[in-house]
Chain A
């Protein structure tokens, strides 16, 4: 018995030293799109996302950021390598506990805001009263309570994106993947949405992976930023921001914010030029 207790204490000590296991692990993941001229979107990539971490990915257009999200979420399969979520292999199916918010407006125009948000729970085993409670909370949390009966067409772009975030939120995912969710919004709205995202992250304790084009957004929101190379994408830098967990958009006036953004740009500039050379300006992702 004493030996067992000692062994358990040793395991705890070891776990504390090593840290909790990653929520998501990518090992030597590649993605090649087949065709007459196959396109190598992802070069062999390794990545670990820690529990409760806010991780952003930046990179030039067409570098494979969205491909990375697809492979990581289970929406797409890697050509080679392995993806695990909470220790389980991910292969072509989005696992329970993963929520995804897309860049495009993905609200359902035929449903009211309330029904859009409730859609996330329609296929779950959550009891009806608990569903109702979660939907009400998500509507209040995202500032949509007064618009519960409205249709998406009656809302602004930013509010529609909040509807999509609320729809993901009600499922209580432990990993939230955001594919440039604020790409279509103006700068002020993006800053405010960034604040809301940070609030959401703190309150839910979820791990967040944000794909973004905006360096300032990545610098402001993240604990860690992964910088990707031009296609085939791979991580060429990992930038720790060192921000406290309690933060908001006011940190943009912190001198360190400028330093982080400058570092990201210095790593990205050459890659962006390379990507532009390969695709021409305005090339797709």
Chain B
């Protein structure tokens, strides 16, 4: 019964997305929306397929994927490390809490030209920008996960004479896993935003740069095809991770 309801919900969601796409398609085809403003989704898809088949954007895709990958790995490592450290230092945490709470109100892109001036026009400023976005999310999720480890489980570890390392490996990490996973999912989303937006502003390669280049050259076909590519990749990755996260949460939810 529950499964049927979930399937119905998924179908409804897909229906809403499909309906919106069909509506845009119809509006574009009927001329209500000017083709210079927006291309029909079927045209975007065809253009994207052509771009992918030609290998024209392979370099940009590889550059963006590499930059996002590097920023993501570093963000997760840094965010996790800082989360563990600050969690262990309550005084430091009390001092940092207000800063962390207002962290995402800072428009970090204003620092991007400064990063380019320091590191040059390469992938490094983009990695730093991606990390600036993603690492705090991972850090806060790590602290939330560590906060929520039931005290009794740590007592069980002591009752079974587990060493400190064994306690971390067998109790702390599995117990905090759902929060760590959420942190990683957020870090991925923020890394995408930071890197692609950075490429859009100022870069010599990457999907963001290719979108900006197409925009400036009035090449709507390429611009919309690349926008579609970014949307599809981000949505598929996030929905897959969200589905896994939901399954994990359900397995643990108390009856």
Q: Which A positions have Cβ atoms within 8 angstroms of B?
A: 73, 75, 93-94, 96, 98-100, 102, 104-106, 108-111, 119-120, 122-123, 151-156, 171
Contact = CB atoms under 8 A, between A and B. Distances in A.
Contacts of A110: 174-175, 177, 251-252
Interface string B148-180: 001011011011111000100011001101000
Nearest to B153: A106
Contact of B155 (A98, A102, A120): A102
Given A108-B153, A110-B175, A123-B166, A94 B159 contact: yes
B152 A155 contact: no
Contacts of B159: 73, 75, 94, 98-100
Nearest 10 CB-CB pairings of A with B: A109-B252, A104-B152, A100-B159, A110-B174, A106-B152, A106-B156, A102-B152, A94-B159, A153-B253, A151-B251
B254 interface: yes
Contacts of A94: 158-161
A73 B156 CA distance: 12
Contacts of A153: 250-255
A155 B175 CA distance: 18
B151 to A, nearest CB: 8
A123 B162 contact: yes
Given A104-B152, A110-B175, A151 B252 contact: yes
Interface residues of B, number: 22
A189 to B, nearest CB: 14
Interface SS, B side: helix
Contacts of A108: 153, 171, 174-175
A154 B255 contact: yes
A156 B255 contact: yes
Contact of A123 (B156, B161, B253): B161
Contacts of A156: 255
A59 B162 CA distance: 31
Nearest to B173: A110
Nearest to B162: A123
Given A110-B177, A119-B170, A153-B254, 9 more contacts: A100-B155, A104-B150, A106-B150, A108-B171, A109-B254, A123-B161, A153-B252, A154-B255, A156-B255
Contacts of B150: 104, 106
A122 B170 CA distance: 10
Nearest to B156: A106
A102 B160 CA distance: 13
25 contacts: A75-B158, A94-B160, A94-B161, A96-B161, A100-B155, A100-B156, A102-B152, A104-B152, A106-B150, A106-B152, A106-B153, A106-B155, A108-B153, A108-B171, A109-B252, A110-B174, A110-B175, A110-B177, A110-B252, A119-B160, A123-B166, A153-B251, A153-B253, A156-B255, A171-B160
B131 to A, nearest CB: 29
A200 to B, nearest CB: 17
Nearest to A70: B155
A171 B160 CA distance: 9
Contact of A120 (B152, B160, B170, B171): B160
A72 B175 CA distance: 28
A45 to B, nearest CB: 22
A93 B161 contact: yes
Contacts of A99: 159
Nearest to B178: A110
A259 B11 CA distance: 65
Given A109-B251, A153-B253, A153-B254, A75 B175 contact: no
A155 B251 CA distance: 11
Contacts of B251: 109-110, 151, 153
A110 B177 CA distance: 9
Contacts of A109: 251-252, 254
A152 B250 CA distance: 11
A232 B170 CA distance: 37
Contacts of B252: 109-110, 151, 153
A120 B150 CA distance: 18
Nearest to A100: B159
B176 to A, nearest CB: 10
Contacts of B152: 102, 104-106
A75 B253 contact: no
Contacts of A151: 251-252
A128 B151 CA distance: 30
Contacts of B162: 123
Contacts of A171: 160
A75 B152 CA distance: 12
A151 B251 CA distance: 7
